[in-house]
Amino acid sequence: MMSFVAHPTPRSRDRLFNQCFLDMNRVGEQAGPRSIRPLPLRTAEAASADLGWPLHVIDDCRDDPAVEQPEAFLAALHVALAESA
């Protein structure tokens, strides 16, 4: 994961996305598709404020920012990793 974040390539991106999709499929199999619902932004903002955790909102995407807004996703990931170091 760290090498992907530091030096992403099309191949490493595809490997990461494939693994994410496999994990999502496993979750879907365990929970069923109806139980996977998007989290309202106001709920995420409230949880962030209550818990003191950072929240990185990525605009113009629904439930898969890594696919829908990959540049913004990577930028937010870089910030989150830098903040946690």
Q: Where are the domains of the chain?
A: 1-37, 38-85
Q: How far is CA 37 from the centre of its chain?
A: 15
Give pLDDT, residue 49.
Answer: 94
pLDDT at position 12: 77
Give residue 84's pLDDT.
Answer: 79
11-59 pLDDT per residue, tens? 777 777 777 666 555 555 555 555 556 778 899 999 999 999 889 999 9
The answer to pTM > 0.85 is no
Long-range contacts of 18-26 (CB under 8 A, 24+ apart): 20/66
3-state class of 17 per DSSP? helix
Residue 40: helix, strand or coil by DSSP?
coil
d(CA 36, CA 28): 7
pLDDT single digits (tens) 60-78? 887 788 888 999 999 999 9
How far, CA to CA in Å, does 12 sit from each of 24, 52, 58, 67, 73? Answer: 18, 32, 22, 14, 15
